[in-house]
Amino acid sequence: MKPWIAGTLCLVLGVSVHVNGQGMDRTGQQCERVSNLAAQVMERRQLGTSKEHVREQLGQAPATHHLIEAAFDQPRYHTQIMQDRARQDFALSFYRSCIQRQGS
C-alpha cells in the first residue's frame, strides 16, 4: 500500500493528534474508521463486486477512490479463508499506516 493513500484517508476523515491523552484515543478511533472502510472495500472486491459498483456504494471522495484503486490492485481469491485473509491484511495495513503517520 502506498503511504500517501493512508495519509490522505486520515486527513479526509479528520484525524488529528492532541497533546493530551484524548488525542491518541481519537487517532485510534479515526484509524479504526479507515481500517473499517478498507475492510468493506476489500470485502466487496473479494466478492467480485465491480469497481464501478463499489464506487457507487461507497461514494466518490478522492480518498475513497484511492482506497478502491488500491484494493483492485490486489488479487481476488476464490476460497473463503484467503478472502478473509486478504480483507484482514488490507484493513490492517491501512490501520498501521494511519497510526504511524499520526505518530510522526
Measuring CA to CA, which residue among 68, 72, 49 is closest to residue 60?
68
Asked if residues 47 and 30 have their Cβ atoms less than 8 Å apart, the reply is no
Residues 6+ apart with CB under 8 A from 39: 87, 88, 90, 91
Q: Give pLDDT, residue 22.
A: 47
62-72 vs 51-58: helix crossing angle, rounded to 10: 150
Dihedral pair phi/psi, residue 78, rounded to 5°: -110, -10
More confident call, 17 vs 9 = 9
Mean pLDDT along residues 16-22: 40
Are 89 and 62 in contact, with CB atoms under 8 Å apart?
Answer: no
CB neighbour class for 70 (10 Å; exposed up to 12, middle 13-18, buried from 19): buried
> What per-residue confidence (pLDDT) applies to 69?
96
Q: What is the extent of the structural domain holding 96?
A: 3-103
Residue pLDDT, tens place only, 28-73: 899 999 999 999 999 999 999 999 999 999 988 888 999 999 999 9
**What's the domain count of the chain?**
1
